[in-house]
Amino acid sequence: MQKTIYAEAINEQTNGALTMDAVVKLIEKPKFKSQGDFAFPCFALAKTMRKAPQKIAEELAATIDHPLFEKIVADGPYVNGFLEKQTVSKQIVNAILEAGSSYGSHSFGNGQSITIDFSSPNIAKPFSMGHLRSTVIGNSLAKITEKCGYAAVRINHLGDWGTQFGKLIVAYRLWGNEEKVRQAPIKELLALYVKFHAEAEKEPRLNEEGRLWFKKLEEGNEEANKLWKWFRDESLQEFSKIYALLGVEFDSTAGEAFYNDKMDKALELLAEQKMLSSSQGAEVVDLAEYGLPPLLAKKSDGATLYATRDLAAALYRQEQNQFSKAWYVVGSEQTLHFKQLFLVLQKMGYRWAEEMTHIPFGFVLKDGKKMSTRKGEIVLLEEVLAEAIRLAEENIDEKNPSLKNKQEVAKMVGVGAVIFHDLKNDRQNSIEFSLEHMLRFEGTTGPYVQYTHARACSILRKSSIEISGGSSSGLKDEASWAVAKLLMEFPNIIEKSFLQHEPSAIAKYVLELAQEFNKYYSHVKILADDGELESRLMLVKAVAIVLEEGLRLLGVKAPSEM
């Protein structure tokens, strides 16, 4: 709001030499606090106004006058605005107290649908740390889209089809033990999968057997189908425990197998538009005009592929959800696949395909290396979450042994630490797995932000004044102004995280707000009984609201006591 007012004042004084949008985009945050709250560079005006940027800055600084600003000064080619601290801090705090958790919301989504394809683990394999990234990034993006006025459709496109199931069936028939699998399904199925690959290196014919059994599965063989269904059901039960711990829900768990009867339609549509051509016996869609290799739609043996399945899935989802955007939160190694997929849909004449986006991310590394299910080199997410909760409980026992709901809080802290550790990193970066770093109560961690929120709640409980509404009279000291200015940024951060598909923008923001609030807490006697007590408590309440909402958007809970 304040930024828009500044832009309007500049626009008015320059007779609309630039559009309002252009002015808003040009306004920066000065490098140093002493330079003010907003800086507008005048370079873009030099051509139309036929003056030096420095001269334009001097003229604007002399003519702009607004009660929201304490002063406007020229700083070389920049016009710097200093907000009137008390007035603006009053506006910000009152806006947050009035809006509550809906502060920072936007309505530009207009209720349109966004399908978000995320998590998508392979069945019959354990849910490893490698699956965490897609799951928590996708879950956070779904919450962010809703905060921006969209309807999020959460899709878990399970990997429940493919040659690996033929291999698993072979492994089970050769070495499997039904009782062992029933007792620990995922553990046993992983052991069989790893054993198959180790044995296949010595006996390559096993790979051929795996292909034959997958073909039997595709043809509806009773034994193959029974085993596949059993593997799938057991996996989903295991996954549901992890999703419940992470607080992740889906609107659809239709996996790859769901599209088996929908792929012929996709191939027919390609054939109707004469987009298919033969290449070494296979059917492909040529993408040479885009400088890309062809999309392989049908193999020489008549089998359909991953790409055909994704084409069928996109057509089905558009028909079902009429999405305005479709996001795929899938690792960066699939970049080429999605480029091909989106271009083929655009070539088919579907305008909606222009709003399909691949949202890639880096790996979770262990000792600097990517984890591999095939070699059994993985860290199980369930074990990580259990250990994180246990360590959080130990921490609470040490720091606050009389805490009520200790186990519930330990779960919030332990799980929150794992999620936050992932989301504080730019999603394109790979991250090193470290349980020790995740759970620290200081530094750039989830527990640090949660603890800051609990501290704000504790201050409010200690006060004799009930802050349930009312109107702040504003504060003008530097410590509270630093906090109020950050609170003002929250709506912009939400929009930025949406536009950049980047939950880390919110994670970094709540860390900065927690740090600034802790500085405030250490410099100011918040509960001192003077004329500004109520305004200080209102600022504390505003911080608690924004920290809790910021954490919620990341999929992290905010305990009120720790």
All domains of the chain in start order, with CATH:
2-83 (3.30.1360.70), 113-268+296-365 (3.40.50.620), 381-554 (1.10.730.10)
pLDDT tens, residue by residue, 20-30: 999 999 999 99
Give, in order, the Cα–Cα distances in Å from 242 to each of 250, 363, 377: 13, 20, 20
DSSP assignment letter at 294: P
Mean residue pLDDT of the chain comes to 92
Instruction: Kindly report each contact of residues 229-235 with a partner whose C-beta sits within 8 Å and lies 24 or more positions away, as own/partner.
Output: 231/123, 231/124, 231/165, 231/168, 231/185, 231/189, 232/123, 232/124, 232/158, 232/160, 232/257, 234/124, 234/181, 234/185, 234/186, 234/189, 235/123, 235/124, 235/125, 235/185, 235/186, 235/189
Both tokens of 491, joined, read 């709506």
Taking CA atoms, 251 is separated from 142, 157, 519, in Å, by 11, 11, 42
Average pLDDT over residues 66-77: 95
Q: Report which DSSP code applies to 373.
A: T
Name which of 140-154, 177-191, 251-265 the model is least confident about: 177-191
Coil vs helix vs strand at 71: strand
pLDDT bin (cut points 50, 70, 90) of residue 287 is very high
pTM, entire model: 0.92
Question: How far apart are the C-alpha atoms of 61 and 23, rounded to whole Å?
Answer: 16
Q: How high is the pLDDT of residue 363? A: 86
Query: Phi and psi (nearest 5°) for 413?
Result: -75, -45
Q: Which of 307, 297, 258 is nearest to 275 (CA)?
A: 297
Q: What's the pLDDT at 366?
A: 73
Whether the CB-CB separation of 13 and 49 falls below 8 Å is answered with no
User: Which segment of 95-104, 143-152, 208-217, 470-479 scores lowest on mean pLDDT?
Assistant: 470-479
Buried b (16+ CB within 10 A) or exposed e, 43-80: ebbeeebeeebeebbbbbbeebeeeebbebebeebbbb
Single-letter amino acid code for the residue at 44: A
What's the token pair of residue 355?
A: 């709003």
Round to whole Å and give the CA distance between 64 and 211: 74
Tokens of 288: 């040479």
Residue 377 has pLDDT above 70, yes or no: no
Give the residue, 370 or 244, on which the prediction is more confident.
244
Residues 6+ apart with CB under 8 A from 231: 123, 124, 165, 168, 185, 189
pLDDT confidence of residue 281:
85
182 token code pair: 């029933």
The residue type of 29 is: K
pLDDT at residue 255 greater than cutoff 60: yes
Tell me: pLDDT of 117 over 70: yes
Q: Which amino acid is at 110?
A: N
Amino acid, single-letter form, for residue 425: N
Confidence of residue 376 (pLDDT cuts 50, 70, 90): low
3-state secondary structure at position 384: helix
Query: Of 547, 371, 365, whose CA–CA distance to 459 is shortest?
Result: 547
Q: What is the pLDDT of residues 25-51, one digit of tens each?
A: 999 999 998 999 999 999 999 988 999
Whole-number Å distance between alpha carbons of 364 and 192: 24
Interatomic CA distance for residues 38 and 503, integer angstroms = 25
pLDDT reported for residue 218: 87
Q: Enumerate the H helices of 430-523 as residue ranges.
A: 435-438, 446-462, 478-499, 504-523
What is the C-alpha R_g of the chain?
Answer: 28
Q: Which two tokens stand for residue 142?
A: 């779904």
Structure token digits, residue 85:
């601290």
Question: Per DSSP, what are the bridge partners of residue 115?
Answer: 153, 326
| Amino acid at position 480, single letter | S
* 92 Cα distance to chain centroid: 26
Contact of 554 with 506, CB cutoff 8 Å:
yes
Instruction: Name the nearest CA neighbour of 535 among 470, 491, 482.
Output: 470
Tell me, what's the pLDDT at 68?
93
- DSSP lists the bridge partners of residue 283 as 278, 298
Among 118, 117, 134, 116, which Cα is nearest to 381's? 134
Q: For 492-538, what is each residue's pLDDT tens digit? A: 999 999 999 999 999 999 999 999 999 999 999 999 989 899 999 99
Residue 470, pLDDT > 70, answer: no
CB distance 472 to 535 below 8 Å: yes
Q: Given the DSSP bridges, would you call strands 282-285 and 276-279 parallel, antiparallel or unpaired?
A: antiparallel
Q: List b or e across 444-483, with b for residues whose CB sees 16 or more CB atoms inside 10 angstroms.
A: bbbbbbbbbbbbbbebbeebeeebeeeebebbbeebbbeb
CA distance 231 to 189: 8
Query: Which two structure tokens, joined as six digits, stand for 91?
Result: 């506006």
**Residue 318, number of CB atoms within 10 A of its CB:** 18
Which of 287-301, 347-361, 380-394, 420-434 is modeled with the greatest confidence?
347-361
Asked whether the beta carbons of 47 and 40 are under 8 A apart, the reply is no
Phi-psi region of 16 (alpha: psi -120 to 50; beta: other; left: phi over 0): left
N residues, the chain? 562
